[in-house]
Amino acid sequence: MKPGDSLMKHYLQFKDLRAEEYAYLFERTREIKKRFKNYEKYQPLVDRTLAMIFEKASTRTRVSFEAGMYQMGGSVVHLTTGDTQLGRAEPVEDSARVISRMVDIVMIRTYEQAKLEAFAAHSRVPVINGLTNEYHPCQILADIFTFIEHRGAIHGKTVAWVGDGNNMAHTWLQAAEILGFKVHVSTPGGYEVDAAVAGVTDASCYRVFKDPLEACRGAHLVTTDVWTSMGYEAENDARLKAFADWCVDDRLMGVARGDALFMHCLPAHRGEEVAASVIDGPQSVVWDEAENRMHAQKALMEYLLLGRIG
Ligand code: CP
Ligand code: NVA
């Protein structure tokens, strides 16, 4: 794909790809991971450059994109608000025009989704959402791949979401609608998911529960996230009080299916949103989830830059 190609795709929200594209990406992720595990060199992106723009902190997203791009033969430019003109009010549209003339693909972690979309609208190259206040599609891509690895197809399954109605929750709802599973959501009052933000048109893809225990009953997967996301730190004290009953502990895991998995995008706070016995217990697949960020994003970058292989 060349810059400005009419077939150029961005990945700004989970719903930017269709179910059959996800089926393809999960298959490519499996293949790319297998090659990595076998120490097989696979370098389809020689001479390609990824720019990563971080306006918020990151461990997994940075390492997974950076290591993944180098493994595929490409290179990476790492930019932050503090050391670029982005932090000195250069318009995002101008930054997009400039950066996208010099690199082949861009990953952005920022605050408002609108800023990411403004960048994408002025970019000559594909743009990937590395987390915004509204969505975290790369994480859900890796999470669903992880579920498939452990349990097979997610279609028809039930995912319990316990905690904040945040970027992760909204992305799970989008994914449920596209891939045909159900999300049982339980959040404290005032922190509900917003169907308009999630952009779901079929309300049957999720169900809201007051009691987190009821949300977890019979679930195939139980998942949660921090009570205070990046950018919301000023609300931390109020959130600590409001979320006290939304901790995934053994009682909640006990009503899920016996073979239910536990996921958390990390970083985690043991004793807040998850008990140590759960995140460090036998049902937890959080380390696979983190590793799979890299394999899934390699498949995603390959797809956005080269289209379908073979
Ligand atoms: N899960 C995730 O996106 O982690 P980082 O914030 O460390 O990138
Ligand atoms: N919801 C969290 C996810 C961190 C990976 C945040 O936005 O901070």
pLDDT at 217: 98
Residues of CATH 3.40.50.1370 domain(s) within the chain?
A: 14-136+291-306, 138-289
- CATH no. of 14-136+291-306: 3.40.50.1370
Decide whether any atom of ligand 1 lies within 6 Å of the 167 Cβ: no
- Ligand 2 centroid–CA 3 distance in Å is 31
d(CA 195, CA 173): 8
pTM: 0.97
- Going from the Cα of 62 to the center of ligand 1, the distance in angstroms, rounded, reads 8
pLDDT of residue 5: 61
Written as six digits, the tokens of 231 are: 């950018």
Catalytic residue numbers? 109, 136, 139, 225, 265, 293
The CATH superfamily label for domain 138-289 reads: Aspartate/ornithine carbamoyltransferase (3.40.50.1370)
Which neighbouring-strand residues pair with 159?
183, 221
Locus of tokens 């932050």? 80
pLDDT, tens digit, 9 for 90 and up, residues 100-123: 999 999 999 999 999 999 999 999
Which ligand is nearest the CA of 172, by number? Answer: 2
**Average pLDDT, 10 consecutive residues per value, the chain (310 residues):** 71 98 98 98 98 98 98 98 92 97 98 98 98 98 99 98 98 98 98 96 95 98 98 98 98 98 98 98 98 99 95
Apex CA 114: angle with CA 58 and CA 264, to 5°?
35
